[in-house]
Structure 1
Amino acid sequence: MEKAVINQTELAIYQGDITDCAVDAIVNAANRSLLGGGGVDGAIHRAAGPQLLAECRTLGGCQTGEAKLTKGYCLPAAHVIHTVGPVWQGGNHQEAQLLASCYRRTLAIADAENFRTLAFSAISTGVYGYPIAEAAQIAVRTVKEYLIAHPDVPLRKIWFVCYDNTVAEAYSQALENKQQGDK
């Protein structure tokens, strides 16, 4: 899979289970309640244990495009950054701006907490229905833009964790900066 380096931060594709990532923080594609759900959100809550749900209950939910930090509890990751991506509604309801905001807000938290390693899930590409190739382009572009604008960020490794080959290929193409349909 592809890799890129922006300033001193390595961006890489990792195909597998985000709940196995031993990093400073994993990024949960959460729902607005932050109280668990299906897909990656449910998997993270199950793997972290009941303490995660208890902490999330104190946070008052999270708006779309925002992010909130919790401990990782039973996960190998020390923390979880929960972000709420947009539900795909055809692309004319600020979905791209809201998705980019998820990545920026998450990176701002990681920066403020002096995290060195971070693993992103494929935000909004599951039940929220965001087209995978477009979501991957937004994710990679937003992360690169953030790193360029913040050259002193402590992050040294950022993984885009993909649950299957199709998602991994879309993120790999985005990291290579290929648009859908390019060869």
Structure 2
Amino acid sequence: MYFEVIEADITTLTVDAIVNAANESLLGGGGVDGAIHRAAGPALLAACRALPEVRKGVRCPTGEARITPGFALPARFVIHTAGPVWHGGGHGEPGLLADCYKNCLKLARDEDVKSIAFPAISAGIYGYPAEAAAEIAVRTIREAAWGPERVVFCTFGARMTRIYKALT
């Protein structure tokens, strides 16, 4: 596995799959989620709506992942995952965040993805401390039984770029 850190708009990357730091509804939101929905076009929202709810309003419980086509994006696929909201670290957040990465990799393996780009899941509005979130991301992917040829950590801002570069 080859790791890259790129400070960019994840929606512009030419990779097989990009990961969407989504909410459990998968119906769009702010940040990375909103940017991906806008760039992919309305077909992405329609595909997300078509995914079955596991309970009222929830298509992707925290720590799980779902996959859709990339539609108008350069990426063939969007792998959606709902990261945990930070509540101080004593409510299972580290395990749930690691599960996000593991479940994204499982879907990527199933679709023969050779390159994948991850945002800093949960490190934005969900409040997960950036250094801890990045450490979990890098460690979980390194320790995975399977990984794609190329893993991109797509960062937003110089601080996150420095954090990921220090870990890779």
TM-score tier after normalising by the smaller chain length: over 0.9
3-state SS of the aligned residue for 1:62?
coil
Which of residues 19, 26, 35 in structure 2 aligns to 1:27?
19
Measured after TM superposition, the shift of residue 58 of structure 1 is 1.1
Distance of 1:64 and 1:173 partners within structure 2: 27
Where structure 1 has 5 or more consecutive residues not aligned to the other structure, the ranges are 1-8, 176-183
3-state SS of the aligned residue for 1:12?
strand
Q: Taking every aligned residue pair, what percent have the same amino acid on both sides?
A: 54
3-state SS of the aligned residue for 2:108?
helix
Measured after TM superposition, the shift of residue 70 of structure 1 is 0.2
RMSD: 0.8
Which of residues 137, 150, 153 in structure 2 aligns to 1:160?
153
Residue in 2 that maps onto 1:56: 48
Distance of 1:78 and 1:113 partners within structure 2: 10
Measured after TM superposition, the shift of residue 174 of structure 1 is 1.9
Q: How do residues 115-134 of structure 1 correspond to structure 2 at under 5 angstroms?
A: 115-134=113-132
Confirm whether residue 141 of structure 1 aligns to residue 139 of structure 2: yes
Distance of 2:95 and 2:17 partners within structure 1: 23
Distance of 2:107 and 2:150 partners within structure 1: 15
Measured after TM superposition, the shift of residue 34 of structure 1 is 0.1
Measured after TM superposition, the shift of residue 81 of structure 1 is 0.0
Confirm whether residue 14 of structure 1 aligns to residue 6 of structure 2: yes
Amino acid at match of 2:23: N
Amino acid at match of 1:167: M
Distance of 1:74 and 1:127 partners within structure 2: 26
3-state SS of the aligned residue for 1:109?
helix
Measured after TM superposition, the shift of residue 172 of structure 1 is 1.2
Distance of 1:85 and 1:32 partners within structure 2: 9
Distance of 1:48 and 1:30 partners within structure 2: 14
Distance of 2:161 and 2:94 partners within structure 1: 20
Residue in 2 that maps onto 1:86: 84
Query: Could you list the runs of 4 or more consecutive aligned residues of structure 1 that deviate by over 6 angstroms after TM superposition?
Result: none
3-state SS of the aligned residue for 1:167?
helix
Residue in 2 that maps onto 1:112: 110
Q: Which TM-score applies when normalising by structure 1?
A: 0.87
3-state SS of the aligned residue for 2:94?
helix
Q: Which TM-score applies when normalising by structure 2?
A: 0.94
Distance of 2:50 and 2:44 partners within structure 1: 10
Measured after TM superposition, the shift of residue 48 of structure 1 is 0.3
3-state SS of the aligned residue for 1:42?
helix
How many residues were matched structurally?
162
Measured after TM superposition, the shift of residue 134 of structure 1 is 0.4
